[in-house]
Amino acid sequence: WGVMAGHAEKKRTAENARILTLHQGVVLGGLVVYLLLRVAWWWESMTRWHWIGLISTMGVQWMSLKGLSSAGEQSVDLRNPTGICEYLFDLLYISLFVLVGSLVSDYIWLVWIVLPAFAMWKLWDGVLRPWFFDPTTE
């Protein structure tokens, strides 16, 4: 059984590396498109808020990729993400959508409101509501 488990482990590691490489390429592609269009082509439209948005989306994308890389190294199956990996993929996709979408309209930056709203809902649903309203067994 040890040989088969080792083979499955190697296969999962290779698949995780492929998934991470794909996502790194997509993130890099979105960043290049943004930099070429917004910074190089429409330089006059770049405000301080655009720089803050660019840096924040890059930070979120970097942290998401770093977290997914760390999970992949620990043999988490990135093809079927659960738990925190699922949220990291969501953060990656939303931040990429916001970055590229902001080329069409600056109002796309308002999508960032979804992230803290979802985090607060998860905090309420998973921690605060049960703590305040569920009866204890005392």
1-55, pLDDT tens digit by residue?
A: 445 557 888 889 899 999 999 999 999 999 999 999 999 998 998 999 999 999 9
The Cα–Cα gap between 100 and 119 comes to 23
- What's the whole-number average pLDDT of the chain? 89
Quote the pLDDT of residue 1.
Answer: 45
- Tell me the one-letter amino acid at 130: P
pTM here is 0.82
Q: How many CB atoms lie within 10 A of CB 88?
A: 22
- Tell me the one-letter amino acid at 118: F
The structure tokens listed for 36 are 């070429």
At 96-131, the pLDDT tens digits run: 999 999 999 999 999 988 888 888 888 888 888 888
Indicate the angle between helix axes 48-73 and 2-34, nearest 10 degrees: 170
Report, as an integer, the average pLDDT of 56-83: 92
